[in-house]
Amino acid sequence: MARITAKSAGLLVDEFDFSGISNSMDLAFSEDPADVTAFADSEATFIQGKPTFNFTVNGLWSTSSPDYDGEMFTDLTASSRRVGIYPGGLDEGNVGYEGATMITASPRIATIGDAIACNVTWQGESAPFRSRLIEVNTITCNGSTVVVNGTGYNLGTIAATNTIIGIWRMVELGGSGTNTIALEIQSETNDTWGSPTTQINFGTVTQSTGANGTHIVTTNTGPAASESWWRVKIQSSGTGSRTFKNYVSFGYFVT
C-alpha cells in the first residue's frame, strides 16, 4: 500500500499559494441525513442530506511575501474564496479537494517561545469536489504566438448529470512587455488527440489583468460522450517576454 507523507501538502486560496506557511490541515466532509420517519414505519427512516465540508488549516503568521495575515483578515468579510488542499503537494497529476468557502474562525495565537500562528477554518458554501492538478507550468513568452498542449490524463467519461469544473490559478507573473495567455480544457477519446473538443474555455489573461495574480472558475455540463482523456491547451502571444506560472485544477460534481 502506498504511503504518502504530509510534508509537502499544498494550500491554494484563490490565486495565492500559501503552502510555505501552513503546517497542519484537517478536512471534514459530511452529509447530514434528514429524518423522514412516519408513524407507519417500523424503524427510523432517513434520506441523504446535502454535502458540506470544513477545511481547517493551521499556519504561521506572515505579513509579507506572502501576506497570509492580510489575505485571511480580508477573508473575514469575503465569500466564495476558492480553497484547494492537495495532501500530496502541488505537483502535476496530484489529487486534492476544492470548494467555495467562507471563514468561520481565524485566531492569531502568540505564545512565548513559540512561533506566532495564524489558524483558519473555512466553511464550505457549496458541495466540494475531488480535483486533479492537470497542469502545473510556467509559460515563458518569446514574442510570438506559441501553443502548448499539456499532458493528457485518462480521467474517465463524465455523464451529463454532472457538472465539470475547472480552476485556473495564475499565481505569479514575471518578465516585461505586452503578452496574453489563453487557457482551455479539452477532451478526447484517446491519447492521440486527433480531434479534441473544448469543454472549458477560461478566456485570456494579460500582463495587466494578471499583474497581482488571478484565478478563474469555469463550469460546464458533463459531455455525456466517449471522451475520457483530458488536457490543458495554452496559447501565449504578444511582443513581450512575460512569464506566467499556472496551476489548473479539474473535476466534477453531481448537478
Give the model's pLDDT for residue 2.
67
Per-residue pLDDT of the chain (255 residues; tens, 9 = 90+): 567 777 789 999 999 999 999 999 999 998 889 999 999 999 999 998 888 899 999 999 999 888 999 999 988 888 889 999 999 999 999 999 999 999 999 999 999 999 999 999 999 998 889 999 999 999 999 999 999 999 999 999 999 999 999 999 999 999 999 999 999 999 999 999 999 999 999 999 999 998 888 999 999 999 988 999 999 999 999 999 999 999 999 999 988
Does the domain made of 6-33+50-127 have the CATH classification 2.40.30? yes
Domain(s) labelled CATH 2.40.30 in the chain stretch across 6-33+50-127
Give the model's pLDDT for residue 1.
53
Domain(s) labelled CATH 2.60.120 in the chain stretch across 134-254
Choose the CATH number for 134-254 among 3.40.630, 1.10.287, 2.20.70, 2.60.120.
2.60.120
Q: What is the pTM of this model?
A: 0.92
Dihedrals φ, ψ of 13, to 5°?
Answer: -125, 110
How far apart are the two ends of the chain, measured CA to CA in Å? 33
Give the model's pLDDT for residue 78.
83
Specify the amino acid at residue 65: S
